[in-house]
Amino acid sequence: MGDIILLIGRKGAEIDAGFVKSEIDENTTVVSVHIPHYSSQSGMNKDEWIGAHHQHGVDLARVEHDLKLRDVVLVTLPKPETCRLGMLHVWTSPESTYDIDSVRIPWEEVEEHLKRTGGFKKGWKPDSRNNPAGKNPTNFWHFSTLPGNLEPITTLFEVPREINTTLSSGMELDAFERVFRAHSIEDGLIQIWAEDDDYEILGQMATSLNRRVARVPEGECDQFTPIRRLISTLPIDVKVDNEDSPETVSKTIQEVEAIARIQDCREGISEIIGNPITHVVTSPPYNIGYQPFNDPKPNSSGDLVTPVREGYEDDLSPEQYAALLQSTFDGIDSKANSDSFDLFLNIKSNYSGGDCDLPFYMLELMPERWRLLDILVWRYDISFDPGRGKYKPLYEWVIRVGFGEVDLPEFGMLDWYIPILKGNSKERRELRHPAMFPRELVTQCLKESNRPADLVLDPFLGSGTTLAACLEAGVNSLGFELSPQFSTDISKRLEWVKWAGNGELKRA
Question: What confidence tens digit (pLDDT) does each residue in 237-282 have?
Answer: 544 444 567 899 999 998 999 999 999 999 999 999 999 999 999 9
Residue 242 lies in a domain: no
At residue 242, the pLDDT reads 46
Residue 255 CB-density burial (10 A; 0-12 exposed, 13-18 middle, 19+ buried): exposed
Give me the mean pLDDT over the 84-113 stretch.
88
- pLDDT band of residue 105 (cuts 50, 70, 90) is confident
Give me the mean pLDDT over the 478-503 stretch.
89
In percent, how much of the chain has pLDDT > 90?
61
Task: Give the H or E element holding residue 332.
Answer: helix 318-334
Specify the number of domains making up the chain: 2
At residue 132, the pLDDT reads 74
At residue 230, the pLDDT reads 59
- Are 206 and 305 in a shared domain? no
- Are 251 and 165 in a shared domain? no
- pLDDT band of residue 297 (cuts 50, 70, 90) is low
Bridge partners of 247, per DSSP, are 262
Three-class DSSP category at 179: helix
Strands across the sheet containing 29-34 = 140-141, 68-76, 85-92, 29-34, 4-9, 189-194, 212-215
- What is the domain range of residue 163? 4-215
Other Cβ atoms closer than 10 A to 353: 6
> Distance (Å, rounded) from C-alpha 194 to C-alpha 191?
10
Res. 137: pLDDT tops 90: no
Residue 225 lies in a domain: no
- Are 193 and 264 in a shared domain? no
Res. 183: pLDDT tops 90: yes
* Backbone φ, ψ for residue 80 (5° rounding): -70, 145
Q: Are 373 and 404 in contact (CB under 8 A)?
A: no
Alpha helices in 156-290 (DSSP H): 173-183, 196-208, 265-270
User: Among 11-25, 196-210, 450-464, 487-501, where is mean pLDDT lowest?
Assistant: 487-501
- Are 343 and 195 in a shared domain? no
Residue where a domain stops, chosen among 160, 195, 215? 215
- Are 158 and 300 in a shared domain? no
Show Cβ contacts of residue 115 under 8 Å, excluding neighbours closer than 6 positions: none
Give me the mean pLDDT over the 469-495 stretch.
90
Res. 55: pLDDT tops 90: yes
424 against 93, higher pLDDT? 93
Residue 180 CB-density burial (10 A; 0-12 exposed, 13-18 middle, 19+ buried): buried
- pLDDT band of residue 300 (cuts 50, 70, 90) is low
Residue 226 lies in a domain: no
Give me the mean pLDDT over the 359-374 stretch.
96
At residue 114, the pLDDT reads 72
> Distance (Å, rounded) from C-alpha 66 to C-alpha 26?
7
Three-class DSSP category at 376: strand
At residue 482, the pLDDT reads 86
* Backbone φ, ψ for residue 270 (5° rounding): -65, -20
Residue where a domain stops, chosen among 215, 239, 274? 215
**Packing angle, helices 439-449 and 465-473, rounded to 10:** 60
Q: Are 134 and 163 in contact (CB under 8 A)?
A: no
Alpha helices in 145-192 (DSSP H): 173-183
Res. 431: pLDDT tops 80: no
At residue 240, the pLDDT reads 44
- pLDDT band of residue 304 (cuts 50, 70, 90) is low
- List the end-to-end C-alpha distance of the chain, in Å, as a whole number: 49
> Distance (Å, rounded) from C-alpha 289 to C-alpha 208?
45
Closest CA to 460 of 296, 321, 297, 352: 321
Give me the mean pLDDT over the 430-454 stretch.
87
- Are 30 and 118 in a shared domain? yes
Torsion sign over Cα 306, 312, 315, 318: negative
34 against 111, higher pLDDT? 34
234 against 315, higher pLDDT? 315
At residue 106, the pLDDT reads 81
> Distance (Å, rounded) from C-alpha 113 to C-alpha 111?
5
- Are 319 and 382 in a shared domain? yes
Residue 462 lies in a domain: yes
Residue 261 lies in a domain: yes
Closest CA to 89 of 5, 30, 140: 30
292 against 51, higher pLDDT? 51
Q: Are 408 and 40 in contact (CB under 8 A)?
A: yes
CATH of the domain at 335: 3.40.50.150
At residue 288, the pLDDT reads 55
Three-class DSSP category at 174: helix
- Are 197 and 292 in a shared domain? no
Whole-number Cα distances in Å, 449 to 30, 148, 259, 338, 410:
36, 21, 22, 16, 13
Res. 291: pLDDT tops 70: no
At residue 452, the pLDDT reads 94
Show Cβ contacts of residue 410 under 8 Å, excluding neighbours closer than 6 positions: 40
Residue 241 lies in a domain: no
Res. 361: pLDDT tops 70: yes
At residue 316, the pLDDT reads 73
Residue where a domain stops, chosen among 195, 215, 235? 215
- Are 344 and 431 in a shared domain? yes
127 against 160, higher pLDDT? 127
Q: What is the DSSP string of 109-143?
A: HHHHHHHHHT---TT----TTS-TT-B---SEE--
Three-class DSSP category at 252: strand
Bridge partners of 353, per DSSP, are none
Q: What is the DSSP string of 261-278?
A: EES-HHHHHHT--SS-B-
At residue 228, the pLDDT reads 76
At residue 384, the pLDDT reads 65
Give the β-pairing of 212-215 and 189-194.
parallel
> Distance (Å, rounded) from C-alpha 350 to C-alpha 288?
7
At residue 143, the pLDDT reads 80
> Distance (Å, rounded) from C-alpha 201 to C-alpha 174?
12
- Are 42 and 97 in a shared domain? yes
Q: What is the length of the chain?
A: 508
Give me the mean pLDDT over the 494-502 stretch.
91
At residue 319, the pLDDT reads 84
Give the β-pairing of 355-357 and 304-305.
unpaired
Kindly state the DSSP code that residue 331 receives in the 8-state scheme.
H
At residue 239, the pLDDT reads 47
Give the β-pairing of 395-404 and 415-417.
unpaired
Q: What is the mean pLDDT of the chain?
A: 86
Residue 324 lies in a domain: yes
Cα 270 from chain centre? 30
At residue 161, the pLDDT reads 63
In percent, how much of the chain has pLDDT > 70?
81
pTM summary value? 0.90
- Are 263 and 174 in a shared domain? no
Residue 227 lies in a domain: no
- Are 189 and 299 in a shared domain? no
Cα 222 from chain centre? 28
Three-class DSSP category at 15: strand
At residue 159, the pLDDT reads 54
